[in-house]
Amino acid sequence: MRAVLQRVSEAAVTIGGAEKSRIGPGLLILLGVEIGDDRGDADWLVKKIAPMRVFEDGEGKMNVSLHDSGGEALVVSQFTLFGDCR
């Protein structure tokens, strides 16, 4: 399992011209899942991402987690994270 995190002021998923999901400030998580990944891998990733302090505090330092910021998360499947371009 691989994930790419991006802090966003807003993000949306649009399929066929129709908006399927939208968030305000938070994290856009591009998630790649491969054969052999299981629930344990997902649980580990959640426990790793949730406490990450990637948002600025009152002093401008990256010292606030997604949970503490009150932000949202949008997870988007991204199989290309396992692509082989050789």
Q: What are 32-64's pLDDT values in tens digits?
A: 999 999 999 999 999 999 999 999 999 999 999
Secondary structure element (H or E) that encloses residue 65, with its range: strand 62-65
Active-site annotation holds for 82: no
**Residue 78: is its pLDDT beyond 90?**
yes
User: Is there a catalytic annotation at residue 79?
Assistant: yes
Query: The domain containing residue 66 runs over which residues?
Result: 2-82
CATH code at position 48:
3.50.80.10
What domain count does the chain have?
1
**6, 14, 55, 80: which is the annotated catalytic residue?**
80
Tell me whether residue 78 is one of the annotated catalytic residues. yes
- Region of 29 please: left (phi>0), alpha (psi -120 to 50) or beta: beta
Q: At 85, is the pLDDT very low, low, confident or very high (cuts 50, 70, 90)?
A: confident
- Measuring CA to CA, which residue among 39, 38, 29, 34 is closest to residue 7? 29
Query: Of the residues 6, 14, 55, 79, which is catalytic?
Result: 79
| pLDDT one-digit tens code per residue, 1-14 | 999 999 999 999 99
Length of the chain: 86
